[in-house]
Chain A
Amino acid sequence: MGERADIVVIGAGPAGMAAAIQAAAAGLAVAVLDDQPTPGGQIWRNVEGAAERGDLKLFGKDYRRGLASVKRFRLARVDYQPGARVVGVEPDADARDTGGDVLFVRKGQAARLSCKRLIVATGAYERPTPFPGWTLPGVMTLGAAQIALKTSDLVPERPFVIAGQGPLLLLLAAQLEAAGAPPDAVLDLSDPGLALTAGKSAAMAALLAPDYLAKGAYWLGRLRATARNVVQIRALGAERLRQVEWRTAAGAVGRIDVRTLLVHDGVIPNAQLTRAMRAPHLYDMAADAWRPAADRLTGQLDDMPWVHVAGDCAGVAGWAAAEALGESAGAAAATALGRTATPGRWSRTRASRARALRPFLDRIYRPARAFQRPDDATLVCRCEEVTAGAVRAAAALGAQGPNQLKAFTRAGMGPCQGRMCSQTVAAILADAQGRGPGDVGLMRVRLPISPLTVGELAGLNETEIKLPLS
């Protein structure tokens, strides 16, 4: 235990940085805990390093813009703690909404950081994409390839294939092309009516990646030439990936020799922490994802007013909305602590403009059926190696909900704590019971949300916190 911070912000992406800057400007003691080594979140991952390397142009305008935000954050009077992994949050025992403790691990030591207000800005992660062979070495997420390019100047080993759906497919293909490593093929798993090959609006693509795509139909044309609309994929190989097999709606089957396969199906809020806090969450049918029940502008949780959520963890809307909502959450938290804070006057406009696009994006980038309704032989839980068939069998035996199903099958009991399977398990269960995913719910997340060693656990209540943290 020890001193109490005014505000703790979890995450140093666009939302977390903006919230921290705003609250610090109001004169409050703000600590930022982020699990990455440098600020920027996933979207602006390693933007300082890429700038130093002279590689900013590879990633486009939205990435370059991050450098200014990161610089602003570096200059703010904020107690920034990189490499800090948050494992849970405990509200004050009196439960009178006076604050709580953030439990985290840094440099191999666990500690509690007490605060009056908490801002959760944990971002989004890629929607899991179960399909046959997805656990083979050589198969990675599209996001992983983007992170490797941003942090390490690494590109996928060729020949390689991108498969799935979502705006990031276009963006990463363009970034890899600019990096001299264009994909050898793109397997588009969108509904046929929404496929790239069917001519998904170039204007739409331009909106999402303006500096690549607004230049004309060049890239989209190229992508169409290498893209094939398919309904199923399979990764083949014994010790590692050797081939990708695809199947079209018409039943045509083909195989491509590959060294690397990158898969993607959009992103979903990373709500692991607020779920572990037992805050109520809502199922957003258009986004096919859960988000915390919170005020849409200040991010204040309906049931825990001392906690705010901001950015993609509150509902995926992209970096511009995240920055605006971070600002507004930071200002709301500062105001609640008796300070005067005025978010940038465009905050609200920027947030609503970015969000206005969302229903349209959600509609044209529907999650791929092949991933969301995997066949019986496909592993859905990578950690405990539970197949979709085993989940269906447990559902047929009468598993009442995701938690009982977890007990029946062990799906969700591995180290990732259901990050990679709980949505799929719930969707399969919902199908089996003829209910909606919003009705079925997700399996429970418990503290610690990432594994602790016994030594860390034992030290949790012993570490004396002094502010600023060292």
Chain B
Amino acid sequence: MLVRRTEPPASAAVTITVDGRDVRARKGESVAAAVLAAGIVPTRLAPVSGAPRAPYCLMGSCYECLMTVDDRANVQACMTPVKDGMRVRTHASRPSLRHG
């Protein structure tokens, strides 16, 4: 997947949570990039077979990076810039109508 060449300096870093876990991200980068850099895969299960998936094109074409961002489901994570305190949930488990 992807690894950081250099850690962003504190002034250029924000923290988001991904599936409840703190993830440091670089200001201005996308949620998908931050999730990939944190080594979190899969981020989604294919709806037909349940096969594992992860962000693929990072430019809004493939819709492979859909995640829940601040309680909005099916957001394109590669088109969403990170913000401090953002809560991200991957779609790596089957959806449920249960709360929480």
A, B in one complex = yes
Query: Which A residues lie at the B interface, using CB under 8 A?
Result: 35-38, 42, 46, 49, 83, 85, 108, 125-126, 135-141, 143-145, 147-149, 151-157, 179-181, 239-240, 259-260, 270, 382-385, 414-416, 419-420, 450-451, 453
Q: Is the CB of A157 within 8 A of B3?
A: yes
List A contacts of B37 (CB < 8 A): 152, 154
The answer to whether B56 and A144 touch across the interface, beta carbons within 8 angstroms, is yes
Q: Which 9 A-B pairs have the closest CB atoms?
A: A137-B54, A144-B58, A137-B41, A415-B63, A152-B29, A154-B2, A385-B48, A416-B63, A152-B33
Contact assessment for B42 and A140 in the assembled complex, using a CB-CB cutoff below 8 Å: no
What's the dominant secondary structure at chain A's contact region? Answer: loop
Taking CB atoms, residues of chain B closer than 8 Å to A156 are: 1-3
B5 contacts A180, C-beta separation under 8 Å: yes
Quick check: A382 and B5 within 8 Å, CB to CB? no
Contact of A148 among B8, B46, B58, B61 (CB under 8 A): B58
Q: Known: A148-B2, A157-B3, A181-B5. Contact between A140 and B58, CB under 8 A?
A: yes
Complex interface: chain B residues within 8 A of A46 (CB): 28
> Which residues of chain B are within 8 angstroms of A383 by Cβ–Cβ distance?
63
Closest A residue by C-beta to B54? A137
A152-B37, A153-B4 known; A143-B59 Cβ under 8 A: yes
- In the complex the two chains form, is B1's CB within 8 Å of A157's CB? yes
Q: Are B52 and A419 in contact (CB under 8 A)?
A: no
B29 partner residues in chain A, CB cutoff 8 A: 151-152
Q: Given A138-B1, A140-B58, A157-B3, do A151 and B46 touch, yes or no (CB 8 Å)? A: no
Check if A42 sits within 8 Å of B59, measured CB to CB. yes
* Chain A, residue nearest B70 (CB): A108
Bound state CA distance, A451 and B79, in angstroms? 13
- Given A141-B57, A151-B28, A154-B4: A239 touches B52 (CB 8 Å cut-off): yes
Residues of B within 8 A of A145 (CB): 2
How near does chain B come to A195, taking the closest CB pair, in angstroms? 26
Apart from A139-B56, A152-B37, A156-B1: 16 A-B pairs, beta carbons within 8 A: A37-B81, A42-B59, A137-B43, A137-B53, A138-B54, A140-B55, A143-B58, A145-B2, A148-B33, A151-B28, A154-B36, A259-B1, A384-B48, A385-B48, A385-B49, A450-B60
Q: Which residues of B are found within 8 Å of A180, using beta-carbon distances?
A: 5
Set of chain A residues within 8 Å of B81, measured between Cβ atoms:
37, 83
Q: Are B48 and A38 in contact (CB under 8 A)?
A: no
Chain B residue numbers with a CB within 8 Å of A151 are: 28-30, 33
Whether B26 is near chain A, meaning CB under 8 Å from some CB there, is: yes
Nearest chain A CB to B31 CB, angstrom units: 11
Residue A138 contacts which of B26, B41, B43, B49 (CB distance < 8 angstroms)?
Answer: B41
Q: Contact: A140 with B79, CB < 8 Å?
A: no
- In the docked arrangement, what's the CA distance between A379 and B58, Å? 20
Greatest chain A CB density within 10 A among B36, B37, B59, B66 is at B59
CB nearest neighbor in B for A270: B61
How far does the Cβ of B42 sit from chain A's closest Cβ, in whole Å?
A: 5
Instruction: Kindly state the separation between the CA atoms of A36 and B63 in the bound complex, as whole angstroms.
Output: 15
Q: Do residues B28 and A148 form an inter-chain contact, with CB atoms below 8 A?
A: no
- Nearest-neighbour CB distance to chain B for A286, whole angstroms, equals 23
Could you tell me the distance between the alpha carbons of A149 and B37 in the complex, rounded to whole angstroms?
Answer: 11
CB distance from B16 to the nearest CB of A (A): 13
On chain A, the residues within 8 Å of B10 by CB distance are none
Smallest CB separation, B96 vs chain A (Å): 20
Min Cβ gap B14→A in Å is: 12
> Smallest Cβ distance from B73 to chain A, in angstroms?
9
Do A414 and B63 contact each other (CB < 8 Å), given the known contacts A144-B55, A151-B30?
A: yes
How far is it, in angstroms, between the C-alpha of A383 and the C-alpha of B49 when the chains are bound?
11
Q: Are B61 and A416 in contact (CB under 8 A)?
A: yes
Most chain A C-beta atoms within 10 Å of own C-beta, residue among B4, B42, B62 = B62
CA–CA, A384 and B54, complex, Å: 15
B74 with A155: CB separation less than 8 A = no
A149 to B2, CA, bound (A): 9
Closest to B46 in A: A385
A238 to chain B, nearest CB (A): 8
Cβ-closest chain A residue relative to B51: A135
Please state if A155 and B3 are interface contacts (CB–CB under 8 Å): yes
Q: How far is the CB of B69 from chain A (nearest CB, A)?
A: 11
